[in-house]
């Protein structure tokens, strides 16, 4: 992997503001995938006949307006790619949904058709895992040049307890989980769905002080609702007791249909897996499990890196871990090279 460092280092230097990465032209349109479905999409146009990267945002309420993903798209465009950044309504709305896999697959197929060439895929967290499921079919594999999945999962059944066990480190994912399933877990505690949605937004949007909404909603909860909230906040045993109830209320076969580990038999495209060493949302062991389960194709077609330079959704200043830079550059170089850049 290190042999690709020369390819990836200029990209990382753009992130470090050591190489100029000017603002890009951005076109916005509704990308139609069928007569009934279209998706708001930002397009960063590269040079004529440039390689194409489908960049899928994660579970952020900012969607494709999130400055972090716009910065990434800009750097990819300035590396020579055309970048498509579509918005998934359910993901932006913090919904864990069966719609995400078919939506990603439809968008991928439409971008391939529109561009008339094989393309690459880049995403993080749950969107990355669902993207892996979506693109695991034989037809998608034919048109997938390269994939980079950051902080992704292998088995949703393993991810869920890990999220709940790390509430004190990063409560965001727990709030998202509870927003999705609290109405089925505790249907009589009717105000908790709104509370956990706003609590997730407080975390994700870094709302504090007067802007924070969950603290205001907390005062309006009844005694049983407040007791539930306080138990989640203070009692690790109580949090872990929610694992089985949540698993029991998932849609039928949700884990089977949405866990990447079940869709690896036809995977042939070059793939890079990047995971933060101390990721509190999804264990780096899950990327390791995916890596080990992927077949042994000819040549170097899969790489993996546990890095101290990234958390779950953000990277740390590069000067804090100088020894990590060559390895990280190698992984990015692998993805960029296989993408045709």
* Domain at 2-155+259-339: CATH architecture: 3-Layer(aba) Sandwich (3.40)
Residue 123: φ, ψ to 5°: -160, 175
In tens, the pLDDT along 128-148 reads 999 999 999 999 999 999 999
The closest alpha carbon to 149, from 43, 276, 44, 275, belongs to 275
Give the per-residue pLDDT at 319.
47
HSE-up of residue 293 (Cα within 13 Å, Cβ side): 19
pLDDT at 315 > cutoff 80: no
Give the per-residue pLDDT at 316.
52
Give the per-residue pLDDT at 19.
86
- What are the extents of the domains in the chain? 2-155+259-339, 159-252
More confident residue, 299 or 271: 271
Question: Model pTM?
Answer: 0.94
> Which residues, in sequence order, are bridge partners of residue 28?
42
pLDDT at 298 > cutoff 60: no
C-alpha distances in Å from residue 310, one per residue of 109, 150, 167, 225, 241: 31, 10, 19, 36, 30
Give the per-residue pLDDT at 321.
56
The closest alpha carbon to 75, from 287, 284, 305, 341, belongs to 341
In tens, the pLDDT along 95-104 reads 999 999 999 9
The closest alpha carbon to 270, from 325, 336, 183, 206, belongs to 336
SS3 state at 271: strand
User: Percent of the chain, pLDDT > 70?
Assistant: 95
In tens, the pLDDT along 54-69 reads 999 999 999 999 999 9
SS3 state at 263: coil
């Amino acid at each position: 992997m290190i042999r690709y460092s020369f390819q990836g280092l200029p990209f990382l230097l753009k992130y470090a503001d050591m190489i100029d990465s000017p603002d890009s032209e951005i076109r916005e349109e509704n990308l139609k995938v069928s007569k009934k479905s279209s998706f708001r999409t930002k397009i960063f146009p590269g040079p004529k006949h440039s390689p194409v990267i489908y960049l899928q945002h994660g579970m952020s309420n900012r969607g494709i307006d999130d400055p972090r993903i716009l910065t990434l798209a800009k750097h990819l465009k300035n590396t020579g790619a055309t970048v498509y950044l579509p918005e998934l309504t359910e993901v932006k709305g913090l919904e864990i949904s069966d719609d995400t896999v078919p939506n990603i697959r439809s968008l991928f197929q439409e971008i391939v058709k529109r561009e008339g060439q094989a393309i690459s895929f880049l995403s993080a967290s749950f969107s990355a895992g669902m993207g892996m499921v979506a693109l695991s079919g034989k037809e998608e594999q034919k048109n997938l040049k390269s994939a980079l999945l950051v902080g992704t999962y292998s088995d949703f059944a393993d991810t869920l307890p890990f999220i709940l066990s790390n509430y004190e480190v990063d409560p965001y994912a727990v709030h998202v989980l509870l927003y999705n399933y609290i109405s089925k877990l505790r249907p009589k505690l009717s105000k908790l769905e709104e509370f956990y949605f706003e609590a997730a937004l407080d975390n994700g949007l870094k709302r504090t002080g007067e802007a924070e909404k969950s603290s205001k909603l907390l005062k309006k909860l009844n005694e049983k609702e407040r007791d539930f909230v306080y138990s989640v906040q203070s009692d690790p045993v109580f949090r872990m007791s929610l694992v089985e109830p949540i698993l029991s209320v998932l849609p039928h076969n949700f884990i089977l249909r949405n866990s990447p580990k079940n869709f690896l038999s036809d995977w042939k495209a070059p793939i890079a897996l990047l995971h933060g060493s101390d990721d509190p949302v999804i264990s780096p062991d899950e990327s390791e499990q995916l890596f080990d389960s992927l077949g042994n194709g000819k040549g170097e077609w899969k790489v993996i890196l546990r890095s101290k330079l990234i958390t779950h959704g953000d990277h740390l200043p590069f000067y804090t871990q100088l020894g990590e830079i060559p390895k990280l550059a190698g992984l990015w170089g692998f993805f960029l090279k296989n993408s045709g850049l």
